[in-house]
Chain A
């Protein structure tokens, strides 16, 4: 018996040594010992799901982990199901979650109790941009003209803003525009960003705040046009997209006269009680993921803001973002009583 166990251990050790020699991974104080669950608090096919499956593919292709990474969707209750699952998996280091804005909006809008403080922040991967889009046939070409038309509209002509979900990022931006300008929108919630872009092309809504990746093909086809981007600086991507214009040519909303800034978090969290060694492992893993050419191409295609934070800076960013959401949602009356 003893010798058998010893043999197994020796063999295991040998295998590990071989794996260490060939794998690109540096030695870690802690490594996963079984399959890691990658929770997506949203449905299949959406932005967060795409990113998670992209990461899974990169990890697999580049052999970045010794244990498998499995994507699991837990989208119930606007993502509350996924976050509650992670919150309840105290000290389980084999589970990570990718977050979107619903980390902040769902607890406020539905009253389901969770917050980023209930989890262990690992790393910010990127920030998703929002762009103000209108139909290419719209009579205005800039934010000034848009705002003038918005304020002048009444009756049947009231502007309709199409967006993804209710009391989430798109509606928050819409509410922020209302608060800044005093104008009113009819906000129409749809299931996904693709639906919204198609509805805008079809003329069923007046404008949208789609993410770049959701509307870029309609822009290139000359069916939609971007007016401004809700960031504090212009996008860095200078490759021309449509009629000689690039992402970098879109003015920020602030410089165009609509002082609103909104970015959506794409970040990774672990369950509460994760040790430093365990978080370090995933921090390092995602650093490697971000360094791959596949990831960089993905960032460029989707015109992401590639800010990536970890540790205290990440926590500080989260605290600030939570405050901003609370403020915006309270003003808009979106908070559940």
Chain B
């Protein structure tokens, strides 16, 4: 109960009205940052970091972490409305969120996403409040082999049961791996596939690719199909919000699963992006409506958001207790801690009680404030859909271009984005799935470097992946997931043969 007393002390720190003002300023800025593709949470926090130099550390972290919560909420908005993920972790939200918007259910999708985010964050902050020391110890057990096992699990959970032909999935994924390999190789320090070009040194940034593949690709498709948004008659009001909330309780098992996946990925630290993909993949597998995923299932919107927000929030835990950032934004916040003169690490919870518990209390309040801010703005965002396509499309295109440029301040990235736009269009036309490409692009280099680190440590023995119960069980689980479709197919055949001949498919 010591945690509870400390938490109450933390809320006391928040009682300073200026801190509440900073919190709302942070949330609002964060939502905007989340909405604009390219200008990610990490960039937004980094840009504002020097501003906080003259604040007290508590006020500074409250404002900056609120930007982070805002960005986590805001990422979903453009994903659902325009199929443009504002943040990497909202890619999985587009899979069902955008189809829902096209069906005229944008309000429900947005409400579902925001509420999911809130649930995830709330679960994670409870975890931080009561289990911080235990969880921090768990993260220390993760070496290279364990990290690779987690990435493998993400891939297998996501890929094991796609509706698309396996060959197409593999082709898209391999393209993603190839693109992820461009640039510097972290293990050997050599340049790969840059062909002597300076512009290729930075590799293909995941965000630029995603803005092109989804955003520009979508605009090309819509242009072909008649210059109009589908589902522009979306009616948004309080009733929609309440009705969506009524549907949510029946997903409680999925929410719990997603929250656990999210917390786990945030703590270890795998990050919010793999968490959202893994959670979507798991939901697709275990949900009764799994077959309808990708066609506009509310569950498919809520699950990745729960996981992403749980991961984003719990990513603060390894940052505070171990000094390792669980996400790029957490890395920038970590830099902030050092600048404010605080030393993250095992002693922070002991020596800087006010700071730590003030921050934790601000996560509770910040997320409630965030939910209020985004829910009240749902009608405004959804109203964008009523603007004629011929007006909004050029604006979206400009925002996409600005976003692609912002990622690295590089003009060529705009061209890269356009090329990815055409690729995205062709993929849709040829019915290749985009998700495996994106997944490979975002996780490819991390998975590769942890695999090769593991191989260095074990001096080339694959047995390292079964060297302790933790890594062994994750790898085995991953492999089971990968071959599960085959197993279930065989089982189904067997059953069918046993009883009566199955109807032709």
A: which residues have CB within 8 A of B? 43-46, 49-50, 53-54, 56-58, 60-61, 71-78, 80-81, 84, 109-112, 158, 160, 165-168, 171, 186-192, 194-195, 197-199, 201-202, 204-205, 213-214, 216-218, 220-221, 223, 294, 297-298, 301-302, 334, 336
Contacts and interface: CB of A to CB of B under 8 A. Distances in A.
B224 to A, nearest CB: 35
Given A78-B189, A110-B184, A218-B346, A57 B50 contact: yes
Interface string B37-65: 00000110010011101100000000000
A109 B185 CA distance: 11
Contact of B322 (A168, A191, A198): A198
Nearest to B322: A198
Contacts of A214: 323
Interface in B18-50: 42-43, 46, 49-50
Interface string B447-479: 001000100110100000000000000000000
Given A166-B187, A218-B323, 16 more contacts: A53-B339, A56-B50, A74-B408, A76-B408, A77-B191, A77-B194, A166-B186, A189-B453, A190-B453, A192-B331, A194-B325, A197-B324, A201-B140, A217-B346, A218-B345, A301-B343
Contacts of B43: 44
B50 A217 contact: no
Given A57-B339, A80-B201, A202 B140 contact: yes
B183 interface: yes
B141 interface: yes
Nearest to A58: B53
Nearest to A110: B191
Contact of B331 (A44, A53, A58): A44
A216 to B, nearest CB: 6
Interface of B: 42-43, 46, 49-51, 53-54, 139-144, 183-191, 194, 198, 201-203, 318, 322-325, 328, 331-332, 334-335, 338-339, 341, 343-348, 408-409, 449, 453, 456-457, 459
B334 A198 contact: no
A186 B186 contact: no
A195 B446 CA distance: 13
Nearest to A222: B346
Contact of B323 (A61, A71, A197, A301): A197
A70 to B, nearest CB: 8
A214 B323 CA distance: 8
Contacts of B183: 76-77
A195 B269 CA distance: 10
B53 A57 contact: yes
Contacts of B50: 53, 56-57, 60, 71
A77 B143 contact: no
A336 B343 contact: no
Given A77-B191, A78-B189, A109-B189, A217 B456 contact: no
B140 A301 contact: no
Contacts of A171: 189
Given A60-B53, A76-B184, A217 B202 contact: no
Given A160-B457, A213-B338, A217-B348, A198 B198 contact: no
Contacts of A109: 189-190
A44 B201 contact: no
Nearest to A56: B50
Given A61-B53, A194-B323, A204-B143, A49 B186 contact: no
Given A198-B322, A217-B343, A44 B332 contact: yes
Nearest to A199: B143
Contacts of B184: 76-78, 110
A53 B64 CA distance: 15
A186 B457 contact: yes
Contacts of B202: 74-77, 81
B205 to A, nearest CB: 9
Interface hub of A46, A81, A190, A223 (most chain B Cβ within 10 A): A81
B202 to A, nearest CB: 3
A84 B198 contact: yes
Contacts of B187: 166, 189
A276 to B, nearest CB: 29
